[in-house]
Amino acid sequence: MNGKSKAWALALLLGVLMLGAVAGIGVDRLLISQPGAAVQPSRARGERDRRQAHLDWLAAELQLTEEQRAQLEAIVERNRQEMAALWQDMQPRFEALKSQARAETRALLNEEQLAAYEELLEREAERRRRGHERR
């Protein structure tokens, strides 16, 4: 694989990783739970608190009126379950694509780069674990 192909592959990987991060953050902030999934009461409270904090942040950043804020809350709640169902259907395909991109990336890296890449992935996984523990 020449340098240009490696650059494109790396750019694609970074794009997939960024898309994953954005999708994860969006789903995490807007959803309370997956439909049909048992949610522990303490977790549900934490998720409601996070959703409320996100709404507070949006209201402040956008300088929403009380009426707009109420409408935004209704929009989020109205779409929450459908978005959860969509994510539940999409997540396995997303994870498969992410695994494929990582495998292709590993194949193009030399030993030193591969070790650094694995370390980056582990740091990202640890960051996510810490984030989930705070919930």
The pLDDT value recorded for residue 134 is 60
Looking at beta carbons, which pairs linking 98-107 to residues 24 or more positions away fall under 8 Å?
98/16, 98/17, 98/20, 101/12, 101/13, 101/16, 101/17, 102/13, 104/9, 104/13, 105/9, 105/10, 105/13
The pLDDT value recorded for residue 20 is 64
Give the span between the Cα atoms of 87 and 112, in whole angstroms: 36
The pLDDT value recorded for residue 128 is 86
pTM equals 0.49
The pLDDT value recorded for residue 40 is 42
Question: How many domains, in total, are found in the chain?
Answer: 1
The pLDDT value recorded for residue 72 is 93
User: 3-state DSSP: the chain helix, strand, coil percent, rounded to 5?
Assistant: 85, 0, 15
**Residue 43, number of CB atoms within 10 A of its CB:** 14
- pLDDT, averaged per 10 consecutive residues of the chain (135 residues), comes to 66 62 57 41 66 91 95 90 90 94 96 96 91 64
**Domain residue limits at 60:** 3-133
